[in-house]
Amino acid sequence: MRVGLFGFGRTGKSVATVLLQSKESHLCWVIRKSETLQHRSVPEFLGIESDEPGLIFPKDELPPPRLFDEHPIDVLIDFSSAEAILSYGGEAAKRGISIVSAISEYPGTTIDFIKKLSQQTKVLWSPNITIGINFLMLAAKVLKSIAPYTDIEIIEEHFKAKKEVSGTSRIMARVLSLPEESIKTIRAGGIVGRHEILIGFPFQTIRLTHESISREAFGNGALFAAQHLMDRPIGLYSLEDLLIPYFNLKQHI
């Protein structure tokens, strides 16, 4: 699976590390925002031994048609910005390149554009592209359907400097039909990220907890998404869509 990566900020670098170290993917290139180029390859930049090219291109050096023609890929992973897909989307879709986007938010018109792309190629969009968080939301949804009389609370903890309520917890609230005020926000020290969905029964309590250790988790999620898209037909997906088949347990386990 040949992969191209848009975005080489803090998260992008962590994702690149995972892609380089995985046997399932082959990191062909990375598009970065900054013009200054001290290194021309990701393995060199990150100090990882690898025989994958991992070429680094500044954003505007290679316009998409040339980029895809000269450096062909199967999957494009996007951790850059909400605008990027407008520039590469059409050319990628035309060539049947799968698109995996982890962008937090898109304006309405871009979402329409993405829906159109998904008629031509496979597109997955997931703002929090970790297996753990998406599993947690589905599991909580199942439990709520089993025991609709329970009380559900969401507690999210992050480092002090994080100003707003976490986007992930807001998606959790939406998926579980809870008002956004029901999210309890803890800000302290250097906590990387912790989300807890607490489900209170009259005589028992269940806690579904996700603790982030580092940003590399996004890389594993993106890789999982890219691999699972391979067996899927053209269309628009979320990471949850790819997890749902695993929930279809058979009787008499």
> Which residues form the interface with a second copy (CB under 8 A)?
130-132, 135-136, 138-139, 141-143, 145-147, 150-153, 155, 157, 159-160, 175, 184-192, 198-217, 219-220, 240-241, 243-244, 246-253
- Residues 77, 163: Cα–Cα separation, whole Å: 27
- The residue (of 76 and 143) whose beta carbon lies closer to a second copy is 143
Q: Which residue among 26, 144, 158, 210 is the active-site one?
A: 158
| Gap between the Cα atoms of 158 and 1, Å rounded | 35
Instruction: Calculate the dihedral angle through the C-alpha atoms of 188, 189, 193, 198, rounding to the nearest 10 degrees.
Output: -30
Which residue is catalytic, options 94, 116, 162, 184? 162
Given the complex with a second copy, which of 103 and 217 has the nearer CB atom? 217
Distance CA 126, CA 142 (A): 20
Active site residue 162: yes
Buried b / exposed e along 34-58 (16+ C-beta atoms within 10 A): eeeeeeebbbebbeeebebbbbbbe
Q: Rounded to the nearest whole angstrom, what is the least distance from the CB of residue 60 to a second copy in the complex?
A: 25
Considering the complex, what minimum distance in angstroms separates the CB of residue 191 from a second copy? 6
Q: What are phi and psi of 36, to 5 degrees?
A: -65, 130
Nearer to a second copy, 103 or 140 (CB): 140
In whole angstroms, the minimum distance from the beta carbon of 61 to a second copy comes to 24
Residue nearer to a second copy on the CB measure, 103 or 178: 178
* Of 59, 56, 22, 19, nearest in space to 41 by CA: 56
| 158 catalytic per annotation | yes
- The catalytic residues are 158, 162
